Amino acid sequence: MLSTVMKRLEEIYPELVEFRRDLHMYPELSFHEVNTPLKIAQFLTNLGLEVRTQVGGRGVVATLKGGKPGKTVALRADFDALPIQDEKDVPYKSKVPGVMHACGHDIHTAGLLGVAKVLSEVREEWPGNVVFIHQFAEELAPGGAMPMIEDGCLEGVDVIYGVHVWSTMPYGTISVKDGYTMAAADEFEVEIQGKGGHGATPHLTVDSLVVGSQLVLNLQQIVSRKVDPLKPAVVTVGSFHSGEAFNVIPNTASLKGTVRTFDEDVRELIEKEIEALTKATCEGAGAGYSYRYSRGYPALWNHPEETDRVERLAKDLLGAAQVNRMAPIMGGEDFAYYLQKVPGTFFFVGGGNPEIGASYPHHHPKFNVDERSMLITGKLFLAAILDYQENSK
């Protein structure tokens, strides 16, 4: 049966490309998805599946009930876009100014719809149930995963699989990893209150710009001197604003940054250390401050058994040389919430192809991927579902 549905997936590939390109031309930002979930829901409804809309806010969940007994497997795809101007020279370039699918979520969505379509055609012979989770707002914390979970998208689910197409991996390759695979992604803000004045009389001021500059340097000591060197961590200041005129010492300075960790103890340590350094730096200079630390997605932890399953099936599908065990990624992903509730794994499918201009990194204005990655994703999803039904304990 597996070969039959895989062949059928190849037959409907042009339909998946058409759907993907429609999403690409009309992208919608996180928490502002209106037409995208409507299109997804209509597609799934036409397949005769049980469809829930507005799950957790803007999510869509469809359930396929197989004709044979078995467990319930969930598959997840995200569908939000990014606030980036599309600069690709392709017929399906985004028609929405300043918004584009620069991370491959349109590929994830169309690929999952392909799996739903081929399974709907053989549902009477298929074992168990399949839950198709189409998630909104992955790109922007607090994300769509948690509200969808709270709204019941994982009820009755035994295992879940997720995927991300990766433009820096060659098309035809797959990467997997068990354990911690993607980092917790947090944000912090510091507002420094100094005492402004004339640039010619710095002794009469408390220079917030200088205090802020010192704080940026001090923060770099957290990872190098406070964190166990065997535990990965990143503290990055990505925004620093202070002052407007060349001869005026500014009254305030503001910093924004991100923290990436895997270990929860390290996460808590860094949160406290940023505040401690901020307090010491500001008080030492006679400045005031305010500090805000916002926790984003938790670290993503892949379950070993399901990771091994996907790795084995990927080698069967593409050959052992095309499958590798990857290093952890410091990027964040709210698929982590699903994995905190049920076993599963999140893997990466190569979409890079320089011959078609698909060689730019994610979140780049010219981002694109080889659309055939949808077929690899779909085939691996199909193989994982059936293997789980046949071999899970």
One-letter amino acid of 219: L
One-letter amino acid of 380: L
Asked if residues 26 and 80 have their Cβ atoms less than 8 Å apart, the reply is: no
Classify residue 227 by its DSSP letter. S
Burial of 283 (C-beta count, 10 Å sphere; 0-12/13-18/19+): exposed
138 is catalytic: yes
One-letter amino acid of 98: G
Strands 323-325 and 174-176: parallel
Considering 28, 138, 207, 311, which one is annotated as catalytic?
138
φ, ψ dihedrals at 311, nearest 5°: -60, -45
Strands 344-352 and 159-170: parallel
d(CA 302, CA 345): 5
Asked if residues 26 and 34 have their Cβ atoms less than 8 Å apart, the reply is: no
Half-sphere exposure of 196 (CA within 13 A, CB side): 14
Considering 28, 33, 78, 80, which one is annotated as catalytic?
80
d(CA 34, CA 22): 14
Q: How far is residue 36 from each of residues 41, 110, 159, 182, measured CA to CA in Å?
A: 9, 11, 26, 27
Residue whose token pair is 């710009």? 209
Asked if residues 206 and 194 have their Cβ atoms less than 8 Å apart, the reply is: yes
* Tally of residues, the chain: 393
Q: Catalytic positions, please? A: 80, 138
